[in-house]
Each structure stands twice: as structure tokens, then as C-alpha cells.
Amino acid sequence: MSEPRPPSSPPSPPETGPQGERLVYVMPAGGLGGSADDEIDLLELWNILWQGKWLVIASTVVFAAGSVFYALSQTHWYRAEVLLAPAEGRSTPAGGQLGGQLGGLAALAGVSVGGGGSAEAIATLRSRDFIRAFIEEFDLMPVLFAEAWDPASGNWLDPDPGNWPDIRDGVGYFQGTVLAVSQSRDTGLVTVAVEWPDPEVAAQWAMALITRLNQRLRDRSLQEAEGNVAYLQSELGQTSVVTLQQTIGRLLESELQKLMLARGNEEFAFRVIDAADVPKRPSRPRRSMIAVVGTMLGGILGVLAVFLRHVVRKRT
């Protein structure tokens, strides 16, 4: 005997309107995604561009001519580079051996054992004090701000002294525009680059910076070592403890080695691996790149102007 089937649900009545008429839904022609008018017609876009082709061409030509004129009017800058290696021997072998045994006594006595290394030299090269001394030594303020200087009268062109550039302006300009210092993490080699419109001046400044840097750090090390030697000799003559005399003797030996190395080494902080040559070709501006970018920008702006004009016309 078969089981009785459950009664099927009655069909839902058709939806009707307010007057009782039957409602019928019709799918839009564009489907659920929108109408056909919302689709992008590439042929229509091409027609719009073709109608405004002269505007695109004119914009491209104007920007191309302007970029070429701008590139040709820019001053050539030349880059002179010096490749350096940190000089060995700034920290003596005795200093390395005494680091663990005599570090406490040296710190209490105010005696520095060993040198600061390349980090100190790079920091000194980038420092405002070093660049200020370099500018003042070579009297570079009229050279750095040549457009504001009158060589005939030897004064600044602006009659107002408040508008004259001072040494702080020169240091900031030299740090931000002329000098660039970088160090390789893999090899530890240091590259010092100087950029200037005159290639010979750029090479001269690059080598002069390294010479002055080595001289400054060498003089500083000599001064410190001489002061330490005088202090240790004074302490050695005042103590009668044999152990303390031996310790001070080792410190004195280390400082004498440091003094000897500083006096006999001209390349105290950096050794020149590759000296700066007078550059043959300018490093900037890149005129071809400026012309290409300007031309592309003109074409893009011309296309945008054509579409904008089309939208405005369509709405009005």
C-alpha cells in the first residue's frame, strides 16, 4: 500500500496592480549589469580623438618645444668622484690588545686608546664646521653665489646687507648641492663626489676636501696623543706602585705608537684608491630625458583636453 503524498503548496496568485490588472516584469536590454549605453565604445573614443587631433598635436608640439628650450637653457654640471678606503693603523695593535685589560684605567684617566675609524671621518667630512672652514679657507662665498656677486667692485649686488648671503647659506648650499658622500656596505669603500659647472674646479675641490680632512683628523689625533703622553708621563713619575707603573707604561707605549703613526702618515683617515679626474661629460641635466618627458606630458594633456571638451559640449 503506497504512502499518501503530502499536499502540494497552492500556486501563488499573480501580482496585480491597484486596479486589478496583472503586472508583467520585462528584463532590461542590457541585462542586470546596466544598459548598453553604459558600455565603453572604443570606436566612439577614437572618433572623439580624431576630431580633436589638432588640439593633441598642438599641445604635443608646444610642450616638446618648451622642454627642449628648457633643457638647452640649463647649465651643465660636472661630477668629480674620489674613491677612498679607510686608512689602516688609526687604531694601533696595542690599543686593540689593551682594550680589555686597560679600558677601565684609560677611561678613568681620560685617555683614548685607538682611533674613531671611518665613521668619525665621514661625520667630520659632512659636518658644518668642516665645510665652513673649507669655504672660508678658499673664499668660496663669491663663487657659490656668483649671480649675486659683483667681481668689479668686490661687493654683493644687493645694496641691502640684510639680503647678502652669509656663511650659513654657503654651508647649506655646499652640503645640499655640491657635496655627496656615500659608503658601500659590502666593501666599506667611501665615495666623495663634488658637482660643479666647471669640471676642473669640481676635481680640485674633491681632492682638496680629502687633503683637508686627513690633515684635520691627523692634527686632532696628534693633539690628543701629545696630551695623553704628557699626562701619563706625569702620572708615571708620581706613582711608586710597580703594577700601576707597568699599566701606565703600556698605555704610554700605545699613545707613543699612535703619535708616531700620526706624524708619519699623510693619509691618516682615508687612503685615495682612485683620485678625481676632470670629468669629460656632464652629469646633469639629462637633456634627452627632459625632452622625452616633456613631449609625453604634452600629448597626455592634449588627450585629456579633447575628452574634457567633448564632455562639456555634450552637457551644454
Looking at the fold, whether 98 and 188 belong to one and the same domain comes out as yes
Looking at the fold, whether 64 and 197 belong to one and the same domain comes out as no
Looking at the fold, whether 216 and 87 belong to one and the same domain comes out as yes
Does residue 45 belong to any structural domain of this protein? no
The span from the CA of 269 to the CA of 85, in Å, is 9
* pLDDT beneath 70, residues of the chain: 1-40, 88-117, 235-236, 240-242, 245, 259-265
Looking at the fold, whether 177 and 316 belong to one and the same domain comes out as no
The span from the CA of 126 to the CA of 42, in Å, is 57
Looking at the fold, whether 164 and 216 belong to one and the same domain comes out as yes
The whole-number pLDDT of residue 110 equals 44
Grid cell digits, residue 159: 645694496
The whole-number pLDDT of residue 93 equals 42
Q: Please check whether residue 273 is in contact with residue 189, taking contact to mean a CB–CB distance below 8 angstroms.
A: yes
The whole-number pLDDT of residue 141 equals 92
Looking at the fold, whether 181 and 298 belong to one and the same domain comes out as no
Would you call 3 helix, strand, or coil by DSSP? coil
Looking at the fold, whether 182 and 304 belong to one and the same domain comes out as no
Which range marks the domain in which residue 69 is found?
Answer: 60-74+292-316
**Which residues in 60-92 are b (16+ Cβ under 10 Å) and which e?**
beebbeebbeebeeeeebbbbbbbbbbbeebbb
CA atoms within 13 A on the CB side of 3: 3
The whole-number pLDDT of residue 28 equals 52
Q: If residue 125 lies in a helix (H) or strand (E), which one and from where to where?
A: helix 118-126
Residue 215 CB: number of other CB atoms within 10 A?
13
Does residue 307 belong to any structural domain of this protein? yes
Looking at the fold, whether 270 and 128 belong to one and the same domain comes out as yes
Does residue 123 belong to any structural domain of this protein? yes
Looking at the fold, whether 270 and 314 belong to one and the same domain comes out as no
Burial of 293 from C-beta contacts in 10 A (0-12 / 13-18 / 19+) = middle
The whole-number pLDDT of residue 12 equals 54
The whole-number pLDDT of residue 174 equals 94
Residue 118 CB: number of other CB atoms within 10 A?
19
Looking at residue 87, the DSSP 8-state letter turns out to be: P
Q: Please check whether residue 87 is in contact with residue 267, taking contact to mean a CB–CB distance below 8 angstroms.
A: yes
Does residue 281 belong to any structural domain of this protein? no
Looking at the fold, whether 83 and 195 belong to one and the same domain comes out as yes
Grid cell digits, residue 158: 644687493
Does residue 241 belong to any structural domain of this protein? no
Q: Please check whether residue 102 is in contact with residue 250, taking contact to mean a CB–CB distance below 8 angstroms.
A: yes
The whole-number pLDDT of residue 262 equals 65
Distance of CA 297 to the CA centre of its chain: 26
CATH number of the domain at 178, please.
Answer: 3.30.1890
The span from the CA of 219 to the CA of 119, in Å, is 17
Looking at the fold, whether 66 and 84 belong to one and the same domain comes out as no
Side chain identity at residue 3, one-letter code: E
Does residue 46 belong to any structural domain of this protein? no
Grid cell digits, residue 55: 588640439
Q: Quote the crossing angle between the two packed helices 53-73 and 287-315, to the nearest 10°.
A: 150
Does residue 158 belong to any structural domain of this protein? yes
pLDDT in tens, 241-269: 667 767 777 877 777 777 666 666 677 78
Looking at the fold, whether 195 and 216 belong to one and the same domain comes out as yes
Burial of 181 from C-beta contacts in 10 A (0-12 / 13-18 / 19+) = middle
Number of domains making up the chain: 2
What is the residue whose three cell numbers read 663669491? 142
Does residue 8 belong to any structural domain of this protein? no
